[in-house]
Amino acid sequence: MSIKQPTTITGQLPVSTESDAPRTAIHTVRSVSDDLNSRSARFQAELDSIARRPVSAPECREALLDTLVRYRSLVAGVWHSVEESNAKVDANRLQGPVFERDEIRKWLSLLAVRAIAEQRNLVVPSPSVRNMQAICIPLNLAPPPSADRQPIGKEPGPQGLTLTILITDSQAQNLEAELLAAQCVIRSRVVWNALAGELAANTRMIGTSAVLELTGLVTTAEDLNSAAHTLTNTLQGHMKCRLVSLGMVVPKRTVVTLTSLSGVADTDTHSSQVQLLTAAMNEVILRGNMTTYPVFGHLSNHLCLAHKRLSEVFGVEAVVSIPLRDEDEQIVGVLLCGGTARQLLNDSSTQFLTACSIPVGQSLTVARRVDGGWLKRADRKFSGFLKTYEGVLVLAVLTLLIATCFLPWTYYIRCRCRIEPVVRQFSLSPYDGSLEETFVEPGDIVKQGDLLARMNGRELNWELAGITAETERASKERDTNMAQLKAVDSLMSALEVEKLAAREQLLKHRQSELEIKSPVDGVVLAGSLDQRQNYPVKAGEKLYEIAPLNPLRIDLAIPSAELPHIREGMTVEVRVDGDLAVPLTGIIERIRPQSEIRDQLNVFIAEVQIENPDNRLRPGMEGSARISSDHHTLGWNFGHRLWERIVTKLWL
């Protein structure tokens, strides 16, 4: 940069609106001497301090302008960035209602454009404000980079900067001192620019080494999953941001799935946070370039809704996402960072992420190819595990288990069972009448001939007495008719006597059946539940059900799926509920041909007859049975049910 000596220039500037004639004369300014007083020394020291601060360009311009205005007691000062014929205010100290007027600001902008265009210092009196002059010093900048090499997130650089200071006419009498102060500010800006370039070069060098380190870590990882976790955790530590996530593009599709999140070993794909991260990454896929929220530099804010929502949900100030590309420039993944705006929204961070795009994308592509499918990953993990002591031990145990599966073993079928009587005897009502009294209830043990109930015989006695009287009358009538030689009447009377005799014999037989007795030894299964008296019954009505207690029958409820493995003659071991200590053994004597529904299950009933000499077993008891079936291998015993279910599901 070269600072030209002020010379007199002419030209048209905005005309004052005041009554006085516009002042358009521009004076020639010569360089001032380098003698500095103590105040100037402090001023220069502060400028040097600002030039060496690691701050951004706007912050540097603000600090330099504040120092200049404060030390020189200037009216105002302003920095302009000039691009083509447009001047933009970068920093200003224009305070007061005078500087709020559009013509003043427009005049300062035109003065900045002119200073850049003519590349010399200008000293111009204000055309609209009395007793005020402007000193405008141009600063040449390096030409902006070409469009194809422009860093992402950084606007094209201006053609130059100008520093304009406004002084009073009294200060203009010492114009050389004011110009020297302004030139010192310009020199400090140049120093900052040089130091910033050196810092940027160092940053790029550090970024390049970091990119190389990242690609090396990704390339040397065992599989894609570990490579992704290493990348996100290392990048989070390097950038010192809150979160870093990596999403990989599904092959042959244009959607992203979250592969790794820094600080998290495993993620739930159905959680709202993971779905939000995936949505933000898919936005990057649609845009095809870096996406930031808030918008940084010249990047567009199109398709940033998911990034905005992500910033709100995760509580991060800024979100930056960059697509990762392979050697064919195809997007293979997305890298997303979240943190503060100071950490992420700056040139060094965005340039570093941009530099990571292709190298990291290529490394991840290689890691994916090496990683292969899930079978290859499982084989690689298993092979590595077998090389350890634990792997050898597990392999030995598995070998032993597999060998054990081929050992022959009895196949046991377990099912529920119920004890039932072999035969059932029923005590019926001998004739129509009423029960005078009952003596047993269900559950009572009875012997053969024990009195169960007694029928009421009162009506029988009455009817029998009437029959006896009728028989005597018929006999006398028969005798009388025979004495009177009435043969027909005598025959009729004889027949009536025979009829009454038969009726009398029937009634006497019923009298002998008034007591209902047990036909066998056994237990009462059903009958009167209370001591009924004078209870009317019909002839043939079932009064009691009695079953012998020895022997008994056990009904086995065999599941329909196990029926092919059961046949008559197989041994059964039964344990009754409540008496599990003493098992019962028997042999299957019969399998009923038709299935039944018991406990909502389709079962086949197999019958086993057992002895019950001590009468400790009762009909209705339930228990568990174990049937000893044929011999099969242990593997078949444990796995045939699963195999049958699979075959049933697949309809093979």
The secondary structure of residue 567, as a DSSP letter, is -
- For the chain, the 3-state helix, strand and coil shares in percent, each to the nearest 5, are 45, 25, 30
Residues in a beta bridge with 408:
633
**For residue 555, which amino acid is it?**
D
Q: How many whole angstroms from its chain centre is CA 329?
A: 33
Residues 6+ apart with CB under 8 A from 261: 232, 243, 244, 245, 246, 267, 274, 277
Q: Tell me, which fold does domain 220-372 have in CATH?
A: Beta-Lactamase (3.30.450)
Angle between helices 57-72 and 175-219 (to 10 degrees): 160
Inter-residue contact 294 to 308 (CB < 8 Å):
no
Inter-residue contact 562 to 415 (CB < 8 Å):
yes
- At 549 the three-state DSSP class reads coil
| Average pLDDT along the chain | 80
Mean pLDDT confidence for 629-648: 88
- At 237 the three-state DSSP class reads helix
Can you give the pLDDT at residue 11?
31
Mean pLDDT confidence for 381-385: 79
Can you give the pLDDT at residue 652?
55
Mean pLDDT confidence for 554-574: 92
Which bin fits 383, alpha (ψ -120 to 50), beta or left (φ > 0)?
Answer: alpha
Inter-residue contact 253 to 245 (CB < 8 Å):
no
Inter-residue contact 129 to 49 (CB < 8 Å):
no
Exposed, middle or buried by CB within 10 Å (0-12, 13-18, 19+), for 336?
buried
Q: What's the pLDDT tens digit per position in 402-416?
A: 999 899 999 999 999
Inter-residue contact 458 to 446 (CB < 8 Å):
no
First to last CA, the chain: 87
- The tally of CA atoms less than 13 A away on the side-chain side of residue 466 is 8
Inter-residue contact 493 to 478 (CB < 8 Å):
yes
Q: How many whole angstroms from its chain centre is CA 537?
A: 71
321: enclosing H helix or E strand: strand 318-325
Closest CA to 322 of 449, 436, 235, 380: 235
Lowest mean pLDDT among 200-214, 251-265, 569-583: 200-214
Query: In the chain, what are the domain boundaries?
Result: 38-201, 220-372, 425-546, 548-650
**Range 38-201 has CATH code 3.30.450.40:** yes
Tell me, yes or no, if the two domains 38-201 and 220-372 fold the same way: yes
Reply yes or no on whether the pLDDT at 326 is more than 80: yes
Q: What's the pLDDT tens digit per position in 344-373?
A: 888 778 888 888 888 888 888 888 877 766
Which superfamily does CATH assign the domain made up of 548-650 to? Efflux pump adaptor protein, beta barrel domain (2.40.30.170)
Reply yes or no on whether the pLDDT at 295 is more than 50: yes
- At 213 the three-state DSSP class reads helix
Mean pLDDT confidence for 604-616: 90
